């Protein structure tokens, strides 16, 4: 069951429960009475062998009972915060080495239960499923955790707590919501934390690789502590059709033959790119910035300006600006 994106509910709070949103990889876990455990990705791929420490912990916690649970695979950094960049080192590794298991341990944060002892509980309201989940006593304090859910609280207050502790956001769930596998339901509402920053535009990719097509994505950079211009990711959402066409035309006017970055950009991101002079800035929102500096889930937020020049409402005040202010 999937949540719908939106602001946290602010009325009828007695009908909603809140959980923190963990920045990881969704996984359904099943345990048999023989202790055999399987983990499946959101796409129903068997990922059991990729997370042996989780499999062993769930098996030990099962204590001879059979069940199917839903949760999130999470890698915690040294500060105890979920770190998707760390988790990426484990994702798609079919059989992780002992060194990788020690350096990037993964925990399973369980937040729902679907079946118990061969009987489905998906038809029960969420509040009852949570009681059943608590009664399973799966928590081992390390590899298997059941994060708390909260009632009678304001979502805005929880968002502040999430931001303060480096948590991705919150999820609100109706206490009477049933579990509908694969469905995206308005009975669950997710609200991620969004950060904002500038990104220097260093190139663009046209739609479908067509030389004359509208803009599909901007390649963004930032100067590091050594003064080198480094790649921080690409942004391809948040644009209107008008903005895509207008930016495509204006960026073509400042195109250059070579990359302005100090270090080469991954080929997967730069295929079909047109490099431009690093003189324009895009303002983007994003969920998280990885340890390597890459932005996760960036979105263009409506301002595009000439780098180092006036970018107020009266663009005519800066005669050097070939790129005018664009507001969505």
Half-sphere exposure of 306 (CA within 13 A, CB side): 17
Distance CA 125, CA 17 (A): 12
DSSP assignment of 263-296 = SPPPHHHHTT-EEEEEEEEEEEEESEE-TTSPEE
Q: In 34-183, at which residue ranges do the beta strands (DSSP E only) sit?
A: 37-41, 67-74, 107-116, 119-120, 144-145, 150-151, 169-174
Query: How far is it, in rounded angstroms, from Cα 29 to Cα 37?
Result: 7
- Comparing C-alpha atoms, which of 154, 223, 170 is closest to residue 11? 154
Indicate which residue of 21, 38, 173, 186 is catalytic: 21
Six-digit token pair at 219? Answer: 């390649």
**Is 21 noted as a catalytic residue in this protein?**
yes
The tokens 């480096």 sit on which residue?
166
Strands annotated E in the chain:
2-5, 16-21, 25-31, 37-41, 67-74, 107-116, 119-120, 144-145, 150-151, 169-174, 184-192, 195-206, 215-223, 229-235, 274-286, 288-289, 295-296, 299-306
Report, as residue numbers or ranges, the catalytic residues: 21
């Amino acid at each position: 069951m999937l949540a719908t994106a939106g602001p946290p509910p602010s009325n009828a709070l007695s009908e909603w429960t809140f959980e923190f949103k963990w920045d990881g990889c969704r996984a359904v876990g099943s345990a048999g009475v023989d202790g055999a455990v399987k983990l499946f990705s959101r796409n129903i791929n068997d990922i059991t062998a990729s997370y042996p420490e989780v499999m062993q912990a769930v098996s030990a916690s099962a204590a001879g009972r059979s069940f199917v649970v839903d949760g999130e695979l999470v890698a915690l950094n040294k500060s105890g915060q979920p770190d998707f960049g760390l988790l990426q080192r484990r994702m798609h590794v079919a059989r992780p080495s002992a060194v990788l298991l020690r350096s990037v341990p993964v925990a399973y944060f369980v937040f729902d239960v679907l079946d118990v002892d061969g009987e489905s509980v998906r038809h029960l309201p969420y509040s009852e499923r949570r009681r059943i989940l608590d009664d399973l006593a799966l928590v081992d304090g390390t590899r298997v955790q059941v994060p708390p859910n909260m009632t009678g609280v304001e979502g805005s207050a929880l968002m502040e707590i999430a931001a303060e502790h480096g948590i991705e956001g919150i999820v609100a769930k109706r206490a009477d919501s049933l579990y509908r596998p694969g469905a995206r339901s308005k009975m669950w509402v997710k609200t991620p934390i969004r950060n904002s920053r500038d990104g220097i535009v260093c190139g663009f990719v046209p739609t479908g690789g067509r030389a004359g097509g509208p803009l599909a994505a901007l390649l963004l950079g930032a100067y590091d502590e050594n003064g080198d211009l480094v790649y921080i990711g690409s942004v391809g959402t948040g644009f209107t059709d008008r903005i895509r066409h207008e930016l495509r035309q204006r960026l073509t006017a400042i195109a250059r033959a070579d990359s302005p970055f100090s270090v080469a950009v991954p080929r997967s991101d730069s295929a079909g790119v047109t490099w431009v002079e690093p003189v324009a800035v895009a303002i983007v929102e994003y969920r998280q910035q990885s340890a390597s500096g890459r932005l996760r889930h960036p979105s263009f937020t409506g301002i595009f300006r000439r780098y180092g020049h006036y970018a107020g409402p009266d663009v005519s005040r800066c005669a050097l600006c070939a790129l005018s202010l664009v507001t969505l």
